[in-house]
Structure 1
Amino acid sequence: MTASGSAKLVMNPATANGGDPAVSGGAVKCGFNPNGSFRGRVDFPGRSGTGFLAINSIGYTVINSLGAVGSTTKTDLQGMNGDLTGHYALGSDIDASATPGWNGGKGFTPVGYNGFTGAFNGLGHTIKNLYINRYSTINNSTYNRVGLFATISNGATIRNVGMVNGNIAGSYYVGGLVGWSNQGVGINVIANSYNTGTVKGVYCTGGLVGISYYGGVNSYTIITDSYNTGVIDGTTGGNGQIGGYVGGLVGAPEHYNKITNSYNIGEVKGTYLVGGLLGILYDGSILTNSYNTGKVTGSLSVGGLVGASFTNSNKITNSYSIGSVTGTDSVGGLVGGASNTNITNTYSAGKVTGVSNVGGLIGSKDSTVTVNNSFWDKDTSGQATSAGGTGKTMAEMKTLSTFTNAGWDIDNQGGTGKIWRIYEGETYPLLRYWLRPLTVTAKNDSKTYNGLAYSGGNGVTYNCFINNDPLPSQPGGTPLEGILTYGGDSQGAKNVGSYAITARAR
C-alpha cells in the first residue's frame, strides 16, 4: 500500500468492520513470505512527520530517513532519542550504511538508554546495515544495553520491522533489535520482527533481544511471530559473567515472559547457558510453538532450543530443535539443564556432543521437571540416553503413529488446522504455523520434429524458497524428498503443435 501526495491513512485493526468483529488490542500485522521477507508494507514516499498516519486512533510520526549523528529531531531514526514516549512508523526502508563512521567508530547511538516507552511500527520495512560497536568486557553505560533500542519499558511495542545485515556489538544486554526489555509497569510486546545480522556480546546476547528482565504476573514481555538468521556470538573468554546467557532469539528471557511462534536458524556460540532459541527460560516463563535449526556451541548448559530452564514452573510446549549441539557439561538436544519446568510435546533430532551430563533431549534435570510426550532421534543425535524423554529411531521419528499415540495435535493432511504436520516417512513433525504452500510450475520447452514421442520436461520452478535455500526444504536446509512427474498432452506427442506440460510433485 502506498499513501502518496496529501493522502492520510487511518488504520483501526481493533475495531469492528462489517462481519469482522472488534478485537481488543488488535494490531497491524505484516505477514511473512516463504523466504522470510514481509508479505505486505505501507509506504509513505517522500514524507516524514506527523498528521497523516493514525493506528487505533493514535497519531504516529512517519520516519523516512536515518538522520545524523546525535539527532534528536523526532522525525528520523536516530532522532527518536528526542522523544522516548513517541509513536513512530517507518514510511520506507532505511539504509544505515553511514553508521560505521559515526561517533568515532562506535556507530549508531541506541535509542532510549533509560527506556523507550512508546510504540515503533516498521509497517513491513527493513533497517539495513546498522552498525553499533560498543564491544567491551566492561559493564557500564557506554557499552551495555545495545541494539536499535537500548531499553524498552512500561508497555512499549515494536512490530513489523526487519533488521537486515547489521553488525551489532556490545558488552552486557545486546540484541539485534533491543538490548534490554525492562518491563517496569505494563506488558512490552515485540511482534512480527526479525534479524539477519551479526550480534556479538559478552553477557545476555540475543538475535532479537539481549535480556528481558524485571517483571511479574501482570508485567512481562511478549515476543511472538519473530525470527533470527544471523550469527549470535557470545564466546568472549574470561571469568564471572563473561560469555553467558546467549540465545538465537533472546539471551535471557526472565520473569513471566511469553515467547511463541518464533524460530532461529542462525549459528549460536557462547560459553555457558547457550541455546538455539533462548539462553535461559526463567521464573514462570513460557515457550511454545517455536523451533531451532541452527548450530549451537558452548561449554556449560548448552541446548538445541534452550540452554537451561529453571525457577517457578516454566513451560516448553510444541517446540523442537534439529540443530547440532556441542558442549562440555549439561548438554542436550533440546534443553541443556532444567529444573521447575514442564516440557510437553517436544522433540530433538540434531547431533549432540558433550563430556558429562549429555542427553539426546535433556542433558541434566532434577525431580521438579516433568517431561511429557517428548522424543529424541537416537540415530542422528548419537545419544542412546537422556535425562528425560523417549528415544526413537529415525524411522520412528518420521512415522505419524509415534506422535498420535502420544496424544499430539498432528496429522499428515493439509489444511486441517492441527498444530503439527508430518510427511509420513519423509520428515520429522513440522509446525504448521510456519509452513507455506509450494507451487511447482513446469518450464517451457521446444523440440525439433523427429518423429519420436515427447516425454518428460525441461525442469520446473518453485514459488517457495524457505530461508533462501536453493531448493524447497524443510527447516534446517535439508531438501524435502519427493517424486517429480510430468503430465499433460505433451506426453507422447509427435506432431508439430503446441502442447501443455504439467508438473506434479509429492
Structure 2
Amino acid sequence: MINCHSIDATSIGVNEVSCLIGLQEGGKIQNCSVSGSANGFILVGAVAGLAENCTITGCTANASVTGTQKIGGLIGKINECHVTECFSESVVELTSIHKDQYVYGKQISLTRDAGGMIGHAKFSSTEYSESEAKIYCKEGFSLGGLVGRTENSEFFRCGSLPLICNYGSSSGGFSGYAGGTGSSVYGHLSLFDQCFSAGSINIRDGYAAGGFCAYLFSDVVKFQNCYSHTDITVPQIQSHIYDDIGGFVGSEPEGIIINCYSSGYLDYKYEVNKNYGFIHHNSSYVYSCFWNYENTAPESGFDASSEDAAEGKSDSEMRSLDTFLDAGWDFPDFGGCIAENSSKSAF
C-alpha cells in the first residue's frame, strides 16, 4: 500500500480495525496518512490494526483511536516489522470492559497495551519516528507515549511528547511495558537507543509510572543514551497509596540502563511508597545515569541523599556539560545540542 490517504474516515468494528487497512501481511505501507476515527475492541489503529512481516515508512496519523487491547495512534500491533520516519498525533483511549465481555468467543479479561503510535511491538524495529499523542485510560495498564507494550523489539532515535491521563496502571512517557524472552546472552535484545520522552503523565489510580518506561520486566531489555524530561503528577487522594513511580523507570527494574538521565518535574502530593527520582535503588544494572533532584515538588521529599540507582544532581549540575563528560559520556553526533546554561538539561 503506497501513497494512500484517508480523510475524516470513521471505522467501527471488533478486531483488526483501522481507517485504512485492518490487516497488512507482508509488503509495505508507505507514505500513507489518516485522519478520522477507529473504534473497536482488539488490534485497533489509525493506519492498520495489525501489521506482520512488512515495512511501514513515512506514515502519519491524526485520528481518534478507541479500543480495549493493543491499540495505537498509528498501528495496533506490529510483528516482525520495520517502522521508520512515521508520526502520530492521535488521541488514543483505552476503554473499560465488562467482566463477561467476549469477542469472537474469547473472554477479554483486561484492558491493556495502548501506545501513542504502536499498541504492541513484537520482534520489530522502529527508528526516526515520533509521537505527540494524547492517551487516556479509565481502567487498564501498559500505556506508553510511543508504544504500549514492547517485546524483543528495538527503537532508535525515536521521540515521544505525550499527554497521558491514567486511572489504571503502568504509564510510561515512551513505553508502558518493556520485556522480552530469552536471556541477554542468547536471546533477542529489546533495545532503546538515543530515544527520549518529554511530556506529562497524570496518575489518578494504580501503580507503576516512569518518565520513560513504567514497567521493566526482563534482563534482555537495554536502555542506552536515552533521557526523560517527562513531568509526573500524583494527586492527593488520601485513600490510596501509589507504588513504584520513578523519573525514568517505575516498577520492577531488571534490565540494563547506561548513560541515561531524567529531569522531568516530579510532583508527588501524597505520601507515597517505593517512589524514586530515577529508578528503584535495588535495580540490577544502572551505569553512569543521573537525575535532577531539584526539579521536584517540596512535598515529594527528594534531596541529594535520596536512595536511588542513579546519581542525583542539582539543576546547575544537570545543565553542565562537564557532569556528563566526567562520567565518560560521548556526544560525537549531537553537534552542539548540549550547551551549558541552556534552558533545559543536557540534550
User: Structures share a fold, TM > 0.5?
Assistant: yes
Which residue number in structure 1 is paired with residue 84 of structure 2?
191
Q: Is the 8 A contact 1:409 1:419 kept in 2?
A: no
Query: Secondary structure of the residue that 1:167 maps to in structure 2?
Result: strand
Distance 1:296 1:169 in 2: 19
Which residue number in structure 2 is paired with residue 111 of structure 1?
21
Q: Is the 8 A contact 1:273 1:302 kept in 2?
A: yes
Question: Is the aligned partner of 1:425 residue 2:341?
Answer: yes
The structure 1 residue matched to 2:309, chosen from 388, 399, 405, is 388
Q: Is the 8 A contact 2:18 2:44 kept in 1?
A: no
Q: Is the 8 A contact 1:306 1:335 kept in 2?
A: yes
Query: Secondary structure of the residue that 1:89 maps to in structure 2?
Result: coil
- Note the residue ranges of structure 2 that are not aligned, 5 or more in a row: 95-110, 181-188, 235-241
Shift of 1:228: 0.8
Which residue number in structure 1 is paired with residue 37 of structure 2?
131
Which residue number in structure 2 is paired with residue 272 of structure 1?
169
Q: Is the 8 A contact 2:157 2:194 kept in 1?
A: yes
User: Going by fraction, where is strand more abundant, 1 or 2?
Assistant: 2
The structure 2 residue matched to 1:163, chosen from 61, 70, 75, is 61
Question: Is the aligned partner of 1:180 residue 2:95?
Answer: no
Question: Is the aligned partner of 1:151 residue 2:64?
Answer: no
State how 1:30-69 maps to structure 2 within 5 Å.
none
Q: Aligned partner of 2:274: which letter?
A: N
The structure 1 residue matched to 2:289, chosen from 369, 374, 394, is 374
Shift of 1:312: 2.9
* CA gap 1:346/1:196 in 2 versus in 1, 3 angstroms: same
Which residue number in structure 2 is paired with residue 309 of structure 1?
216
Shift of 1:174: 0.3
Shift of 1:150: 1.2
Query: Secondary structure of the residue that 1:300 maps to in structure 2?
Result: coil
Which residue number in structure 1 is paired with residue 105 of structure 2?
none
Question: Is the aligned partner of 1:207 residue 2:123?
Answer: no
Which residue number in structure 2 is paired with residue 495 of structure 1?
none
Which residue number in structure 2 is paired with residue 227 of structure 1?
130
What percent of counterpart residues are identical? 23
1:267-305 deviations in Å (ceiling 9; x for gaps) = 023321110000011124111101111101333110000
Number of equivalences:
301
Q: Is the 8 A contact 2:12 2:39 kept in 1?
A: no
Q: Aligned partner of 1:193: which letter?
A: C
Distance 1:420 1:253 in 2: 32
The structure 1 residue matched to 2:153, chosen from 246, 257, 268, is 257
Query: Secondary structure of the residue that 2:58 maps to in structure 1?
Result: strand
Q: Is the 8 A contact 2:194 2:225 kept in 1?
A: yes
Q: Is the 8 A contact 2:6 2:20 kept in 1?
A: no
Which residue number in structure 1 is paired with residue 7 of structure 2?
96
1:347-386 deviations in Å (ceiling 9; x for gaps) = 1111223411111111x2545x211111111111342224
Shift of 1:126: 3.1
Shift of 1:95: 4.5
Shift of 1:338: 3.5
Which residue number in structure 2 is paired with residue 295 of structure 1?
200
Distance 2:172 2:77 in 1: 18
Query: Secondary structure of the residue that 1:422 maps to in structure 2?
Result: coil
* CA gap 1:424/1:96 in 2 versus in 1, 3 angstroms: same
- Look at both structures and tell me which one has the larger radius of gyration over its CA atoms: 1
Q: Is the 8 A contact 1:420 1:429 kept in 2?
A: no
Distance 2:197 2:148 in 1: 14
* CA gap 1:347/1:252 in 2 versus in 1, 3 angstroms: same
Q: Compare relative contact order (CA 8 Å, sep 6+) and give the higher one, 1 or 2.
A: 2
Shift of 1:161: 1.1
RMSD, aligned α-carbons: 2.3
TM-score relative to the length of structure 2? 0.81
